[in-house]
């Protein structure tokens, strides 16, 4: 399966993934600048990504803890998620997320 990352520079990067992979790990493997400081403990928000609108509805809902952490993320949007909480499955083949940038206003899309 594949997932796609839209970089802050508006490039589309495709990465190969396997069902069961964590999106954060795949993103880091593809060279995306997501720090993931707390390594999935939901104690940071440095793995924040903005999920493509069509895909957002397909993902399982965020937990309350994830929502709380997202409140602290910079540049959060209606379809923001923490990449460390997204477990990939075949149903998510083609999942597309954008990497937020402090320098870029995503609302321009």
Contact positions vs ligand FES (CB under 6 A): 24, 36-40, 42-47, 69, 82, 84
Backbone angles phi and psi of 12, in degrees to 5: -105, 120
Structure tokens at 18: 């396997």
Please say which residue, 28 or 101, places its beta carbon nearer to ligand FES. 28
Contact 82, 64 (CB under 8 A): no
Please say which residue, 40 or 94, places its beta carbon nearer to ligand FES. 40
Q: How far is the CB of 79 from ligand FES (least distance, A)?
A: 16
* CA-based max dimension of the chain: 33
Among all residues, whose Cβ is closest to ligand FES? Answer: 84
Q: Is 43 exposed, middle or buried (0-12, 13-18, 19+ CB in 10 A)?
A: exposed
Q: How far is the CB of 5 from ligand FES (least distance, A)?
A: 16
Q: How far is the CB of 31 from ligand FES (least distance, A)?
A: 17
């Amino acid at each position: 399966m594949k997932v796609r990352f839209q970089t802050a520079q508006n490039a589309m990067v495709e990465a190969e993934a396997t069902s069961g992979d964590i999106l954060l790990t795949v993103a880091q493997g593809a060279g995306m600048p997501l720090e993931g400081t707390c390594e999935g403990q939901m104690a940071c928000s440095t793995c924040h990504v903005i999920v493509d609108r069509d895909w957002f509805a397909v993902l399982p809902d965020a937990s309350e803890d994830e929502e709380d952490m997202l409140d602290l993320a910079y540049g959060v949007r209606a379809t923001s998620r923490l990449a460390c909480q997204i477990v990939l499955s075949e149903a998510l083949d083609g999942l597309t997320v954008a990497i937020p940038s402090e320098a870029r206003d995503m609302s321009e899309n």
